[in-house]
């Protein structure tokens, strides 16, 4: 069949295009080849590859050398221990540690089963397997092509698995794998094969919160690791790949299949005969739980706070803290902590649960007023959740009247007022918004001495006084006490605890410690020193930091007035028998519409020369069904009396060097005649004279601040 002219023309055009394309490709190859040779790109590529390899190797070598491999054995043998203020052991932290046993205390069946399953060439490799690396590389390439950002499998050696558990995360990435290999080589350089195998068997996870072969033997077979039979050892070895899937309690059939596979692998590795294996495979899977976990996390909220401080202040990770076998020395007073926990364990110290079963919550902090060291803390009621919400340190609630001494009465004394100065006690409106504070019972006496206004927690005199000394004065004093006030809090409502964020019991305890420490406020803390597993000090808290907040004389007069709270005022029912306590109570309104009778928060703070304690009580979420009322049998006063009695029983019961302000005032009034009264109360007059001298400076500062505010 003859081709048409059109077909012949198309064929000619196609041939011409192919010829042109071939010539173009040839020219491109020649040009590219010339370019390649001219700039020696082959050498540059080799240099770049070698450079990247050198940089990566240098970095990974640095990682391996700084991984503290020398301390690995010590770390794995020891849990992180907590010590109290007397350097006595107080417990240990939860960690990836079980009962550590030596290799000769472990049945020979265990290494035989584990090595047959996990790493047959363990004794012939130096931390990594070339075959394993090849397999990991293949799987990496495969997963990258499938857009999976992880490595599945990889044939890690026993040493690599130990390194992964001890130093790295479980995330499967190339960078983690590279670090794993280099650290594994360093581990092989530092330890013998026997030591590595011992560390691995004691650090392996066997499910149900059990770490290490000894505790696993107790958990599943109620025997020691030295008594494990071949089937039992094979069961534990089979669990290492996936403790959740091969769980003899939850998945007995899968576990038995896995066990029998391990037994067959032991035959292939020449550890047992085929005849013996056949017999072992027929053995039933019999689980007996004889494991009793040790309760070493004895003071949960305190230990939680220690971990949080080690993270935030000393930049240690939780994994380091939990697993590095540290010795952490703290400010804990075990007697006070036990007493506080016992008080919180007694539900009779709290209001009954609401109708829907919601529990009234509470938190308390005890602190050494001289050092700021927290001696005891409870951050909530009910079952503790590891590192859950700690209301003692993390909560922020409005402080109510506990703020009055801090932002009203202390700055008033600093600016020339006296503890018995007369204050106005009238219902009065302030400002353009007609802010009108009311006393609790809405009754007013016209005038009242300062000490009485404080111990009766009267609102009208407190707001009147803040208005007199200036809101800015009270606001700046709140800042000096390190209370988290904001610009929006700069108003008269601050006198009654009106704050945007609120405070924690720890912050309130710290602020009141200034009155207990001659006007010096210490920095609150839990940790004094941290040592690593080898005994080297890696953290040492600086010498107690304090800052001057108020004068010593002001602090003394504040304590004098605050004693009255427990002797005559709102804290009378909270006073522990046989002790003189100073402090303050406080409440905040529920904020629920049409409910002016019930409260959202209840606070109480009390101190002696030995300890300051701040306690809060309320619902986590306040609404119409969850508010606090004044049931005297279960009020915060009864709670505070119970916990303070227990705490003070464990202190030296040091006495205050100042008397109750009301008694001082009455004594002055009764002896206000002649030279005898001057001589009898001479020290008080000298104090008044000194305070009067300061009055001019204080009022001058207030006047200048008022002038500046105009601009």
CA-to-CA distance for 329 and 326, rounded, in angstroms?
10
Residue 241, token pair as written in the block: 């790949």
φ and ψ at residue 90, rounded to 5 degrees: -115, -5
Placement of tokens 């490595």 in the chain: 151
For residue 662, give Cα distances in angstroms to 149, 399, 425, 560, 577: 73, 25, 18, 8, 20
The candidate with the shortest Cα–Cα distance to 233, out of 270, 202, 263, is 263
Q: Is 358 exposed, middle or buried (0-12, 13-18, 19+ CB in 10 A)?
A: middle
Query: What DSSP letter does each residue of 590-630 carry, written as one string?
Result: ---TT--SSEEEEEEEEE-SS-EEEEEEE-SS-BTTB-B--
Residues 6+ apart with CB under 8 A from 326: 80, 81, 320, 530, 531, 532, 533, 538
Nearest to 109 by CA among 337, 345, 271: 271
118 is catalytic: yes
β-pair type (361-367, 537-540): unpaired
Active-site choice (118, 125, 180, 506): 118
Virtual torsion, Cα 191, 192, 198, 202, nearest 10 deg: 20
Catalytic residue check, 401: yes
Q: Which two tokens stand for residue 379?
A: 């951050």
- Catalytic pick among 92, 129, 364, 401: 401
Q: Is residue 322 within 8 Å of 94, Cβ to Cβ?
A: yes
Residue pair 187/156 in contact by the 8 Å Cβ criterion: no
From the number of C-beta atoms within 10 Å of its C-beta (0-12, 13-18, 19+), residue 584 rates as buried
How remote is the C-alpha of 632 from its chain's centroid? 34
Which sequence positions are flagged as catalytic? 118, 401
């Amino acid at each position: 069949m003859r081709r048409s002219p059109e077909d012949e023309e198309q064929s000619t055009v196609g041939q011409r295009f192919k010829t042109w394309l071939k010539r173009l490709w040839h020219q491109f190859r020649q040009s590219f080849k010339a370019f390649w040779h001219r700039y020696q790109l082959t050498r540059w590529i080799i240099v770049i590859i070698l450079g990247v390899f050198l940089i990566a190797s240098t970095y990974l070598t640095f990682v391996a050398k700084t991984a503290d491999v020398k301390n690995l054995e010590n770390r794995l043998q020891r849990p992180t221990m907590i010590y109290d203020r007397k350097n006595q052991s107080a417990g240990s932290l939860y960690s990836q540690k079980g009962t550590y046993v030596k290799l000769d205390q472990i049945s020979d069946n265990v290494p035989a089963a584990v090595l047959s399953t996990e790493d047959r060439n363990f004794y012939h490799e130096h931390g990594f397997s070339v075959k394993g690396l090849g397999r990991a590389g293949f799987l990496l390439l495969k997963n990258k092509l499938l857009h999976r950002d992880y490595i599945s499998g990889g044939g890690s050696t026993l040493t690599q698995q130990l390194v992964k558990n001890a130093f790295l995360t479980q995330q499967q990435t190339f960078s983690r794998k590279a670090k794993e290999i280099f650290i594994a080589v360093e581990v092989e350089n530092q330890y013998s094969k026997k030591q590595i195998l011992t560390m691995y068997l004691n650090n392996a996870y066997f499910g149900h919160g059990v770490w290490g072969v000894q505790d696993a033997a107790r958990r599943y077979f109620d025997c020691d690791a030295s008594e494990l039979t071949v089937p039992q050892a094979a069961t534990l070895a089979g669990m290492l790949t996936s403790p959740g899937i091969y769980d003899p309690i939850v998945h007995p059939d899968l576990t038995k299949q896995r066990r029998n596979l391990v037994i067959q692998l032991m035959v292939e590795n020449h550890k047992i005969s085929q005849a013996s294996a056949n017999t072992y495979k027929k053995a039933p899977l019999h689980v007996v739980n004889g494991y009793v976990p040790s309760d070493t996390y004895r003071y949960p909220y305190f230990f939680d706070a220690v971990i949080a401080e080690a993270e935030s202040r000393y930049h240690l990770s939780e994994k380091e803290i939990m697993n590095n076998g540290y010795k952490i020395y703290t400010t804990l007073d075990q007697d006070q902590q036990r007493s506080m926990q016992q008080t919180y364990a007694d539900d009779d110290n709290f209001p009954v649960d609401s109708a829907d079963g919601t529990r009234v919550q509470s938190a308390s902090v005890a602190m050494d007023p001289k050092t700021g060291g927290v001696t005891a803390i409870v951050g909530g009621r009910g079952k503790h959740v590891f590192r859950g919400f700690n209301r003692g340190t993390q909560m922020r609630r409005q402080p109510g009247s506990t703020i009055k001494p801090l932002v009203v009465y202390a700055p008033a004394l600093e600016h020339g007022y006296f503890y018995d100065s007369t204050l106005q006690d009238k219902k009065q409106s302030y400002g353009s918004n007609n802010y009108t504070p009311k006393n609790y019972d809405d009754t007013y006496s016209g005038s009242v001495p300062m000490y009485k206004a404080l111990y009766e927690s009267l609102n009208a005199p407190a707001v009147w006084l803040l208005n007199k000394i200036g809101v800015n004065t009270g606001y700046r004093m709140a800042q000096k006490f390190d209370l988290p006030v904001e610009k929006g809090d700069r108003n008269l409502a601050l006198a009654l605890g009106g704050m945007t964020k609120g405070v924690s019991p720890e912050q309130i305890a710290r602020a009141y410690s200034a009155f207990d420490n001659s006007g010096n406020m210490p920095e609150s803390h839990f940790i004094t020193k941290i040592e690593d597993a080898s005994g080297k000090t890696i953290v040492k808290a600086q010498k107690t930091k304090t800052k001057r907040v108020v004068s010593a004389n002001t602090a003394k007069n504040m304590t004098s007035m605050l004693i009255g709270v427990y002797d005559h005022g709102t804290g009378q029912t909270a006073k522990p028998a046989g002790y003189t306590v100073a402090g303050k109570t406080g409440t905040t309104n529920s904020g629920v519409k049409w409910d002016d009778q019930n409260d959202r928060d209840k606070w109480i703070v009390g101190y002696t020369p030995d300890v300051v304690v701040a306690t809060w009580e309320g619902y986590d979420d306040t609404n119409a069904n969850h508010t606090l009322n004044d049931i005297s049998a279960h009020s915060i006063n009864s709670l505070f009396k119970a916990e303070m009695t227990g705490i003070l029983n464990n202190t030296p019961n040091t006495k205050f060097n100042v008397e109750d302000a009301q008694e001082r005032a009455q004594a002055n009034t009764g002896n206000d005649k002649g030279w005898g009264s001057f001589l009898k109360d001479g020290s008080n007059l000298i104090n008044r004279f000194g305070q009067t001298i300061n009055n001019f400076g204080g009022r001058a500062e207030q006047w200048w601040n008022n002038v500046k505010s105009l601009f």
